[in-house]
Structure 1
Amino acid sequence: MVLELHVWGPAFALPSIDAQCLAAIAYLTKAVPRDQWVLVASSDPSVSPTNELPALRDGATWVSKFRNIVDYLRQVSDGAWLLNSQLTGLGEADTIAFSAFTESNGQLLIDLSLYVSSQNYYAATSPAYGAILTWPNQWILPPKLRTRAKNRTAHLGLSSLDLEAGEEERTRERSAAAAAGQIPKNLIARPRETVSTLLGKTAQNSRFRLEALTADLFEPLEQLLAGKAYLLSDQEPSTLDALVVGYLSFGLVPGLPAPWFAEALQSKAPRLAKYVARVRDECFGVVDVADAFKDTPSPSSKLPWRQPERVNAGKIGSTLLNTLADATPILSDLRANDRLRESVKSLGEEVTPLEAKIMAETAEAKRKDMFLSIASVAAGVTAMVGYLFYHGIISVVREEEQNQTQEEGYTEGESRSAQSILQALL
């Protein structure tokens, strides 16, 4: 059976808008024969049981995340589809260390460049998602992904790249200062800063920190590459090459309003930039968004595209229900816990048995705490209602007693009326 690689769809002349998906595509391009796999731009994490992309489907088996996909391909091919087969022990150690290094640092730069930066998000990232997503995902997923990116980068102190967040923070600071009596009230109503002023302050405030972040990633990789054709060898690419190309290809995206990622890559690591451009062209070529959604892919395409399934009414309804469930407090916690348990199952050899056990126990403990909280709330409500009944604040009158009381009231009223008539006649 032909393998199916499900990914986020193309953007910026790349086959995917996600770095992990790009790395998986690059790996399969170099390791797996073209007639053994197809590429599906499903752009829908729900296709995978773990709710993650990239996801490799082999019949009834689903494997998500780049490292798990690499390991699965090694197993099903008996090592034939393993790029690292030529590496020594030192090369394997370098692959593990630099892969973790690239994933952690590269994702932060992508988050800051494409999502946190208001300029790039509204001018490039959001429209790119609009071109690959269907309704209602095109309105639901991009803001959600941007929020996750902001959370991942909050510790870096670069929220000034987000103009909306910067304006809200300045408003809170002025309000707090006024409440504390630090500034007169007649000075609170300041004119709103122009976009050009905000952009100038953003560039100035973020410049040095961004310089440090980009140098931390590019310089070690530039030294590792040296004068070789690939990062660890002069003959064949490795898993590390696929991963680095997947992440640093976003440093070559042209035409962004805030191009600091590309400028830093070109200036700090020119050899690395040329290497990424060369391997990117070897693996992907130039991708048009339409290639991913055609009935028959273009003969000039280097990738084995297969058209994704059409969205039906049931899928739209499921998306809306899932969105509603994620917005409901208790349901969202239950769903997040279920995803955590599925992720633990899908990690495979990526973590040690002890780490997997700790993560599984954490998921189970969170689940128990959740149900305990629900039970506590239910018990509290029951106790409160019982208290109100006991003190007569709330009373329940049975229908039979109510009807009987009404009938007795009618009888008593009729007898009193009869007595009044007799007295008047006498």
Structure 2
Amino acid sequence: MLQLLTWGGALDCPSLDPACLAVETYIRLSGLPYQRQLVNNPNASPTGDLPVLIDDRIWVSGYDRVMSQLIKTGNDLDKHLTAQQKALAKGYMSLLQTTMQDCLLFSWYHDAKNYTSNIRPSLAHLIPFPYRYIVPMQMRKRAKARLVPYGVELTEADKNRSVFERAREANRAESVSTLMEGGWHHMFTRVREGYKTLQTKLGDQKFFFGDSPSTLDCVAFGYLSLHYFPKLARDRLRIILEAEFPSLAKYIERMRDLYESSSTLSSPPPTAETKTPVLPSFFNSIAADPWAWFQRVKSERLVNPFASTETGPKKSQAELDFERKRVWSIAAGVFSVVVYVVWNGLVRIEKIEDGDEAYDSGMYDVEEDEEMDEED
């Protein structure tokens, strides 16, 4: 039976990772029985990528390799498509995986208000200790690096329009008329163009290529559901979809109903309390219970480090000294990580106040405030 290792859900989405959700949707619509493990940690994957698919003794990770393995099982959702339709589908999937994903990253990670109010808390709730203090920051840095070619930093025109926006900050949903102005940031222009392209292709059809779902539908649901369902502090993507692209919004809701009704899970998904590590490792054993690990090492090595075992040869003084230094080096390393986390403010509570400075910080990293002030 297939086993799928995937990111768990939050913010009213089945999964916080679009590729994981696309793969799981494909499995369900193919009618394949499977089991799901909510890993919520890319380090559990041999390659550092999720999703991971386990098919008997075969392990594959990453969207492309997982999809190739699923097709090898004989369950090809695109078998009814012509060669021309398959080529078109690749183009639309590329749009979803690049531009539309980048617009999502802009909303989730570049907008500090969304990140601090919604995204980081949701990730921290899913990710096990101690990764929850490190992984969200890493994800944000990768997202912002990916957004560099778009030139997403505030321009003078953006700052002028922000005055108009601030007048409506008291209204969480924001008025539709504000959004219909054309967008105060060029990333919203890009996302509108993407929505328009997808809605035009969909037309009045049930799915993108007629009455039967294809891989494109799975990918579209995986990516667009993260635009539509989360209720964020600034959920402009959802409001744009509802106000300007209602057909596409209804399609996303329809796909969610199909996703839920097509469940082929052989057993209920593990909860946060029951999930187990996939690949036991030295660091995972520390992360699971660092105090218990240290106490065990201490009792084995430090209480009586010179004791010999009955089954093995007596160790030399040099070997014993080496083991003692190794234990203390590991302890020092763990302590250094803790100091780094505290010193760099990775464990902190941030509050964004209303006002000019608070709003501007919503569109660039709050950790870069001091650097930008110095430049000014």
Same fold (TM over 0.5): yes
Equivalence for 2:208 = 231
> 2:34 aligns to what?
37
Q: Distance in 1 between matches of 2:123 and 2:146?
A: 20
Q: Distance in 2 between matches of 1:140 and 1:238?
A: 37
Matches within 5 A, 1:269-280: 269-280=245-256
Say which of 315, 329, 332 aligns to 2:284. Answer: 315
Contact 1:48 1:62 in 2 (8 A): no
Is it true that 1:91 corresponds to 2:66 in the alignment? no
Q: 1:242-281 maps to which residues of 2 (within 5 A)?
A: 242-281=218-257
Gapped regions of structure 2 (runs ≥ 5):
171-178, 291-329, 338-376
Question: Amino acid of the residue matched to residue 36 of structure 2?
Answer: L
Alignment deviations for residues 20-52 of structure 1 (CA, whole Å, 9 cap, x no partner): 11111111110132xx31111111212222110
Note if contact 1:56-1:69 (Cα within 8 Å) is conserved in structure 2.
yes
CA distance in 2, matches of 1:240, 1:210: 23
Change (3 A) 1:158 1:282: same
**Larger proportion of helix:** 1
Q: Which residue of structure 2 lines up, in the alignment, with residue 23 of structure 1?
A: 22
| Paired residue type of 1:58 | D
Per-residue Cα deviation, 1:277-321 (whole angstroms, up to 9, x for no partner):
110122047x9xxx74449xxxxxxxxxx9521598851537999
Residues 96 and 308 (structure 1), Cα distance of their counterparts in 2 relative to 1, 3 Å cut: same
CA contact (8 A) 2:201 2:208 kept: yes
Alpha carbons 2:44, 2:277 under 8 Å: kept? no
Amino acid at match of 1:266: E
Cα 1:266–1:278 shift into 2, 3 Å: same
The amino acid of 1:24's aligned partner reads V
- Whether the 8 Å CA contact 2:241–2:249 is kept in 1: the answer is yes
Deviation at 1:252, TM superposition (A): 1.5
Counterpart of 1:74, as a letter, is I
Contact 2:114–2:234 under 8 Å retained in 1: yes
What corresponds to 1:189 in structure 2? none
Contact 1:10 1:292 in 2 (8 A): no
Q: What is the distance in 1 between the residues matched to 2:112 and 2:285?
A: 29
Contact 2:6 2:39 (C-alpha < 8 Å) held by counterparts: yes
Match of 1:282 among 248, 258, 265: 258
TM-superposed deviation, 1:85: 0.9
Following superposition of structure 1 onto structure 2, how do residues 116-135 of structure 1 map, counting pairs within 5 Å?
Answer: 116-135=110-129
- TM-superposed CA distance for 1:132, in Å, is 1.0
1:56-67 paired onto structure 2 within 5 Å: 56-67=53-64
User: Are positions 1:54 and 2:51 aligned together?
Assistant: yes
> Which amino acid in structure 2 is aligned with residue 137 of structure 1?
Y
Secondary structure of the 2:11 match is: coil
1:351: which partner in 2?
none
Partner SS, residue 35 of structure 2: strand
Q: Is the 8 A contact 1:55 1:62 kept in 2?
A: yes
CA offset at residue 268 of structure 1?
2.9
Name which one, 1 or 2, has greater alpha-carbon Rg. 1
SS, match of residue 72 in structure 1: helix
| Correspondence for 2:304 | none
89 and 205 in structure 1: CA distance in 2 versus 1, 3 angstrom threshold: closer
Partner SS for 2:134: helix
Residues in 2 aligned to 1:58 and 1:70: alpha-carbon distance in whole angstroms: 12
Return closer, same or farther for 1:89/1:157 CA change in 2, 3 Å cut-off.
same
Distance in 2, Cα, partners of 1:71 & 1:283:
21
**Matched residue SS, 1:62:** strand
**What one-letter code is carried by the residue in structure 2 that aligns with 1:308?**
K
Tell me the distance in 1 between the aligned counterparts of 2:111 and 2:58: 38
- Following TM superposition, by how much is the alpha carbon of 1:208 offset from its aligned partner in structure 2, in angstroms? 4.0
The residue number in structure 2 matching 1:11 is: 10
Residues 212 and 206 of structure 1: CA distance in aligned 2, closer, same or farther (over 3 Å): closer
Judging changes above 3 Å, is the alpha-carbon distance between structure 1 residues 158 and 87 closer, same or farther for their aligned structure 2 residues?
same
TM-score norm. by structure 2 comes to: 0.64
SS at match of 2:128: coil
1:160–1:205 contact (8 Å) kept in structure 2: no
Corresponding residue SS for 1:84: coil
For 1:211, what is the secondary structure of its paired residue? helix
**2:201 aligned with 1:221:** no
Count residues in correspondence.
Answer: 271
Determine the structure 2 residue equivalent to 1:379.
none
SS in 2 for 1:86: coil
Separation of aligned partners in 1, 2:284 and 2:21: 26
1:19-418 alignment, distance < 5 Å: 19-33=18-32, 36-75=33-72, 77=73, 79=74, 81-160=75-154, 207-234=184-211, 236-284=212-260, 292-294=269-271, 307-309=274-276, 314-317=283-286
More contact order relative to length (CA 8 Å, sep ≥ 6)? 2
Structure 1 residue 250: Cα displacement: 1.2
Give the residue type in structure 1 aligned to 2:135. L
Preserved CA contact (<8 Å) 1:114 1:120: yes
8 Å Cα contact 2:35-2:269 kept in structure 1: no
Q: Deviations over 1:174-208 (max 9, x none)?
A: xxxxxxxxxxxxxxxxxxx9x969x79xx999714
The amino acid across from 1:121 in the alignment is: Y
Instruction: Please name the residue that 1:169 is paired with.
Output: none
